């Protein structure tokens, strides 16, 4: 195995951190992770190591954002009582609380809207979440985007101020069934046009 400097050799300051310069055995092509990622709604009763969660958060931190605003904020929830309350806030989706870790993916935002008319923060937070879900796949973990939840309830449970938007919840854990699933997607010719719409 070759020693290599990777993304995670850089600390929170963005400076190279020799302590974090280590051998890594995980390797998965990005496209392979895209194909293997699936929504996981049943998890093994197995903890996710702290450093694994840190790597996922590092991957989120490296995401692009409009004007490099980096509005994303994350609350890492491991406490079983809080997870159960989050699953109640997620319209009773029980599996949310059964994952060993739930990320509340939030935005600290002034509601900046790009000149194209799109608000930045939902896009920026979504990109960061996608980094997490793909890297989680490479780590052998399963995730499921959760958009069906009561924002005010989640804010209350986690002590998130009303000014902070909760964009998604993301349960993370080792999948009970890691087998690949066939993607149910529209064919390319239904979603792509070339040169002009019509």
Out of 24, 34, 39, 63, name the contact with ligand FMN by CB under 6 A.
39
Q: How far is the CB of 171 from ligand FMN (least distance, A)?
A: 9
Residue 133, interface with ligand FMN (CB under 6 A)? no
Q: Which residue among 85, 87, 93, 137 contacts ligand FMN (CB under 6 A)? A: 93
Q: Please, what is the minimum distance in Å from the beta carbon of residue 12 to ligand FMN? A: 28
74-102 burial code (b ≥16 CB/10 A, e <16): bbebeeeebbebbbbbbeebebbbbbbbb
Q: For 107, phi and psi rounded to 5 degrees?
A: -135, 130
Instruction: Give the one residue of 48, 101, 146, 164 binding ligand FMN; rule: CB under 6 A.
Output: 146
Site for ligand FMN in 44-83 (CB under 6 A): none
Q: Which is nearer to ligand FMN, 147 or 161 (CB)?
A: 147
Interface region with ligand FMN, contact rule CB under 6 A, candidates 2-10, 27-35, 67-75, 141-149: 141-149
Q: 177: closest CA among 39, 32, 4, 7? A: 39
CB nearer to ligand FMN: pick between 36 and 196: 36
Among 21, 122, 145, 151, binds ligand FMN (CB under 6 A): 145
Question: Judging by beta carbons within 10 Å of its beta carbon (0-12, 13-18, 19+), is residue 185 exposed, middle or buried?
Answer: exposed
6/130 with CB nearer ligand FMN: 130
Q: Does 162 bind ligand FMN (CB under 6 A)?
A: no
113 binds ligand FMN (CB under 6 A): no
For the bound state, the minimum distance from the C-beta of residue 155 to ligand FMN, rounded and expressed in Å, comes to 17
Q: Rule CB under 6 A: which residues touch ligand FMN?
A: 38-39, 41, 93, 144-148, 183
């Amino acid at each position: 195995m070759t020693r290599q400097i990777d993304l995670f050799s850089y600390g929170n300051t963005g400076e190279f951190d020799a302590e974090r310069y280590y051998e890594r055995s995980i390797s998965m092509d990005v496209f392979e992770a895209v194909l293997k990622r699936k929504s996981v709604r049943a998890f093994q009763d197995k903890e996710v190591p702290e450093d694994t969660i840190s790597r996922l958060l590092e991957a989120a931190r490296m995401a692009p954002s409009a004007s490099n605003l980096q509005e994303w904020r994350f609350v890492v929830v491991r406490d079983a009582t809080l997870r159960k309350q989050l699953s109640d806030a997620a319209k009773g989706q029980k599996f949310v609380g059964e994952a060993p870790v739930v990320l509340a993916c939030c935005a600290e935002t002034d509601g900046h809207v790009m000149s194209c008319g799109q608000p930045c923060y939902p896009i920026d937070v979504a990109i960061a979440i996608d980094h997490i879900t793909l890297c989680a796949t490479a780590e052998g973990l399963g995730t499921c985007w959760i958009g069906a939840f009561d924002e005010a309830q989640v804010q209350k449970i986690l002590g998130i101020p009303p000014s902070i938007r909760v964009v998604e919840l993301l349960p993370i854990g080792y999948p009970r069934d890691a087998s690949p699933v066939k993607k149910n997607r529209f064919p390319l010719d239904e979603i792509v046009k070339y040169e002009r719409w019509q």
